[in-house]
Structure 1
């Protein structure tokens, strides 16, 4: 979607976020976080608005969005399930659990279920290595996961 096709309210919200952080030292990341907080992702048309406001190229803004794993360039489901892919979790049965979750949801990494309920994302360390395997559901961490725990989490978000 280009800037002309975006809703006026969306453009105004992005402009307000840009103005809020524009004079900060290193304003790009705070602006991107603000836009994602507002929309749940960084819309394509926002990249050009941000680039223009900060005297950057759209490619520079896009590069930052794609470099950091927490920024999204597409909407997510109502719930986001992040499964740890780091070595400690892998060594504690993380891979079979991840495959089971993908099968149960019928999606792969970075995809959203057809009903829009769950987006599945890999994350490379949640800092719970001593309690592996771990996951994060909507910002809440869960440790020492097994198939029973994950089934319960998936039932919660599928309602």
Structure 2
């Protein structure tokens, strides 16, 4: 059973109405939709545009600009690897390549068994303990091969 609700226009409108009074409601709406549906499906774009009196292009542009918004349902576990400058200087690209190799998927994809979605993120705020990662919302600093392998094992269990 999925931990996310299936997409529906009615639920989308409900979420939009809950947030539309906020100043600049589009980002909070998109985050709420992703929290409920697990991703931001293409079907939400015209609904949000209609409800907020925006163009579809405006909504689509925001959804596609920000890396944090997923277009597809994630795997059971989400592993985010930081690829910002501090983490790059400490060897994150080698760790990204290792994770991609171990999972058989490039960043942005989900393993064939549906267990792990691997995502790039561009700063987790752990620059002093770079390189860093996040597994299902849990931050991990001082990432090395051993720690990465432990995270992958945990996510694949």
TM-score scaled by length of structure 2: 0.91
Per-residue deviation at 1:48? 0.6
Deviation at 1:32, TM superposition (A): 1.1
State the secondary structure of the residue aligned to 1:26: coil
Structure 2 residue 138 is matched with structure 1 residue 146: no
1:121 maps to which residue?
119
Per-residue CA deviations over 1:41-82 (Å, capped at 9, x if unaligned) read 111111110000111111110101111121112211111111
Which residue of structure 2 lines up, in the alignment, with residue 4 of structure 1? none
Match of 1:18 among 16, 19, 23: 16
What are the equivalent positions in structure 2 for 1:1-159 lying under 5 Å apart? 10-159=8-157
Q: For 1:85 and 1:105, how far apart are their aligned partners in 2?
A: 18
For structure 2, the residue ranges without an aligned partner over 5 or more in a row are 1-5
| Structure 2: distance between partners of 1:118 and 1:55 | 37
Instruction: Say which SS state the counterpart of residue 143 (structure 2) adopts.
Output: coil
Once the two structures are TM-superposed, the CA of residue 93 in structure 1 deviates from its matched residue by 2.1
Query: What is the match of residue 3 of structure 2?
Result: none
Structure 2 distance, partners of 1:131, 1:139, is: 17
Mapped partners of 2:153, 2:23: distance in 1: 44
RMSD over equivalenced CA pairs, Å: 1.4
State how far apart, in whole Å, the 1-side matches of 2:26 and 2:42 are. Answer: 15
- Residue-pair matches, total: 152
Task: Describe the superposition over 1:18-55 as per-residue Cα deviations: whole angstroms up to 9, x where unpaired.
Answer: 11112222221121111111101111111110000111
Structure showing the higher helix proportion among its residues: 1
Which stretch of the first structure deviates more once superposed, 22-31 or 112-121? 22-31
- TM-score calculated relative to the size of structure 1: 0.90
SS in 2 for 1:56: coil
For residue 141 of structure 1, give the secondary structure of its aligned residue in structure 2: strand
